[in-house]
Each structure stands twice: as structure tokens, then as C-alpha cells.
Structure 1
Amino acid sequence: MRMLEQRKLVVEFGRKLLACGLTTGSGGNLSLVDRRRGLLAITPSGEDYLEITPGRVVLVDLDGDQVDGPGRPSSELGFHLALYQERPEVNAVVHTHSPYATTLACLGWELPPAHYLVGFAGPKVPLAPYHTYGTPELARAVAEAMQGYNAALLANHGLVAVGDTLSRAFAVAEEIEFAARVYYQAKAVGEPRILSEGQMREVLAKFATYGRQ
């Protein structure tokens, strides 16, 4: 089976999306690219994560043509491809419908650095404007919003996170969901204190080597 290890990782992290409360049912999607082969492994459209096996993970080339897998690739294949094409350092994309990040997205809010863990995404988490899911317009909006960022909120939709590995992209999604929850809860009782640009520059400098052994 081609790209068996990558397909296994897509299955593993798809199940983690459910276990960690970052989505429900078949919501969201994730992918992992092998740039040497010019192929990416992506979750199939509309299938429950608990029922996906490595053989059901879809393989697609970087032009968007399906090369293996019995079902259709995720309906959000477009923004996965756009991110891989525009961000050569990115090898994995995770899209969630996590509750607090999605709440902010439905309010039309960016996520400012009320907590330093926003630094997993950058100095803030920007907001991409609303477009119907699965459309070229959404793919372009996501790619534009994520220039220089490792995560973006999608208005009235959810969150997208990227990384050089699937583990890293998942960690970004998980930490931004935590930061979104803290920000929402703080807004419910007062006005959060936002970290300054200088404070976030220091955080981002430290994050450049965080978790790198």
C-alpha cells in the first residue's frame, strides 16, 4: 500500500480529533504530504473517524487528482492544496470544528494574545472571511489569512492549523483551542489583558526551538 505510514498517521490523528474534543462525527479533516512523492494523504469525505482505516485514506497529487483510495477526498481538499503550494515548510494540515475556536469564529473575532500559547499560531490568530465550505473562494481566503501564521479561524466555520509534521499541526490546533477557551471565558467576566507586541516577540523567539530536540 502506497504511503502506508502516512495513511496510518491520518487515521491515528483523526481519532485524536474526536478523543480530544476538537470535532464531532466526521467534521473537520486532516492531511499529510510527502513532497518527495508529490502526494498527500487526506481523510475521506463524510466518513466517521472511528471507521476510517488506512486503506480508506485518500491519496491525491499536488494538482488535486486522486490517485488512490475508494472514496472521495475531503471536501476541503482545496485549502489543503493551497497551503501546501504556498507554504513549502508545511507538511501537515489539521482542520477542526473545536467549540471555543469556532465560537470566536462565529462572533467574527480574531484571537488576540490574551494567553502566550497563542504563539503556537503567531502573534495572534487571524480570521479568514466566510465562504461556503469546499469552494475555491474559501481555499484562497484560508491561504491569504495564513500568510505568516500557523493557524487561522474561519468565520462561521472552524479552525485550520499547520505544521511541519502532523503531530505539530495537531498540537497547534489543540493549543489554540485552549487559548480560545481562556479568551472566551475571560471576556465573559471582564476584559482580558492582551500581551504586547514586544512580549509576543519574546514568546515567538522562545517557541522557535520549543519541542525541538
Structure 2
Amino acid sequence: MADVRDALIATARALQPAGLNKGTSGNVSVRHGNGFYITPTGMPYDRLVADDIPLMALDGSHVGARKPSSEWRFHRDLYAARPEVGAVLHAHSPFAVSLACLRRDIPPFHYMIARFGGDTVRCADYALFGSQALSDAALLAMRDRKACLLANHGLLVAGRDLDEALALAIELEELCEQYWRACQLGAPVLLSDDEMTEVIAKFAGYGQQ
């Protein structure tokens, strides 16, 4: 299935032009059969070929010559817990990292927060990168959500496929920048619970042809 791995590599390579990543930080995965393909650890994305992409099982084992990303646990746990998730993307984008270092949820300052499944984008508690504790914190923050911030770390999104995961990551970083800029001028005016409930209901069919 080189085409699935090629699509994964193309998504990984899109992170830097989109302003989401630099170097080898971050990681991307895509569900495949009873497991998932994930970017390998410590390899520049522009040098990846299909055979560099390890295939992981939900028990944490992998097949392939390369070691998987050190962050494989929250990828594995999202696939195991949420059958609707087809792709997972983690990035160290500058505005998401800035807010994550403040350990703040992103409140409903803009109606597009609803795209991620609720009236906030939560910030997960801090835990060591690559640890099961980080995965547990991330899954808790992503309950009923498609994204979260990881405290002092970055962003994490889960989409139905690679295209949606990339789009969600770009949208989240843009919202983080907008919130950061608005906070420079004062306290943003937040949408009410009723206003966000209305938006969330409308998003149920948003963008569907």
C-alpha cells in the first residue's frame, strides 16, 4: 500500500510550508487496517520514502526498518478509542506552542472554535513527551473534540482522513494566532453559551456537499 504511505509523506511535507513545523519535530499518522502508519522518528520529511514508514499495531509493536515517532502512544490511543478517527497530526506550530506554554484553553472568542467539536479547545495537562501519561492527558482533553493543545508542547488534531487532519491543524494554528493578537489589545469578547450552542448545531452539516 505505497499509496497510503505516499499520502502520509505528502502530508508531513506540507507541515513546514503551512507554518506548522520546522525540522523533524511533530508527527503524522494514518489508520490502516487494524493498525496505523506513522512517520518515523528523527528523519527529515523531505528524505522519506514509503519504506521508511513503519506500520504499527495497537499493541505498540511495529513492522519496518525505521523506528516510529516517539509520540506513537497518543496516535495509538486515539485510534483505539475513537473509530471515527482516520488520521492524527501533531505539530509544534509557533502560536499554538505560545498558548500551550501558558496552559490556557482557547475560549469561544471566535465561532470557528466550534469546528473542533465544542465551545473551547482545551489544553491538556503537561506530561513528558512520548509518555503514556501524555497520551492519557491528551485523550482527556480531546473528549468530544477534534483537537487540543498539549501544555508546554504543541497542538494535536484528529481527523477522518489526512486531508481533514491537515486542514484542522492549519485552522487551529490560525485561531491561536488570532486569539494571541486579540489578547494584545485587551480581553476578547467571548461568545455566550447559547451562541456557541447555535454554532455547534450548524457545524453538524458544515462543509458537506
Compute the TM-score of the two structures, normalised by the length of structure 1. 0.94
Which of 78, 83, 88 in structure 2 is aligned with 1:88?
83
What does residue 5 of structure 1 align with? 3
Separation in structure 1 between the aligned mates of residue 207 and residue 3 of structure 2, nearest angstrom: 22
Runs of 4+ in structure 1 deviating by more than 6 angstroms, as ranges, are none
Residue 182, structure 1, aligned to residue 178, structure 2: yes
Which of 13, 16, 24 in structure 1 is aligned with 2:14?
16
How far apart are 1:8 and its partner, in Å?
1.0
Kept in 2, the 8 Å contact 1:118–1:175? The answer is no
Q: Percent identity?
A: 42
Q: Which runs of 5+ in 2 are unaligned?
A: none
How far apart are 1:206 and its partner, in Å?
2.2
What does residue 74 of structure 1 align with? 69
2:37 alignment partner, SS class: strand
Separation in structure 2 between the aligned mates of residue 174 and residue 194 of structure 1, nearest angstrom: 22
Kept in 2, the 8 Å contact 1:33–1:41? The answer is yes
Kept in 2, the 8 Å contact 1:120–1:176? The answer is no
How far apart are 1:48 and its partner, in Å?
1.0
Moved more, 97-106 or 115-124: 115-124
Matches within 5 A, 1:51-130: 51-67=47-63, 69-122=64-117, 123-130=119-126
What does residue 49 of structure 1 align with? 45
Aligned length: 208
Separation in structure 2 between the aligned mates of residue 165 and residue 15 of structure 1, nearest angstrom: 16
How far apart are 1:57 and its partner, in Å?
1.2
Deviations 1:75-104 (A, max 9, x none): 000010111111111111010111111100
2:15 alignment partner, SS class: helix
Compute the TM-score of the two structures, normalised by the length of structure 2. 0.96
Kept in 2, the 8 Å contact 1:95–1:160? The answer is yes
Deviations 1:162-185 (A, max 9, x none): 011111111111111111101000
Q: Which runs of 5+ in 1 are unaligned?
A: none
How far apart are 1:211 and its partner, in Å?
2.4
1:18 alignment partner, SS class: coil
What does residue 30 of structure 1 align with? 28
Task: Look up the equivalent residue of 1:114 and give its one-letter code.
Answer: F
How far apart are 1:212 and its partner, in Å?
2.2
Moved more, 189-198 or 20-29: 189-198
2:89 alignment partner, SS class: strand
Task: Look up the equivalent residue of 2:151 and give its one-letter code.
Answer: A
How far apart are 1:47 and its partner, in Å?
0.9
RMSD over equivalenced CA pairs, Å? 1.1
Task: Look up the equivalent residue of 1:22 and give its one-letter code.
Answer: L
How far apart are 1:112 and its partner, in Å?
0.8
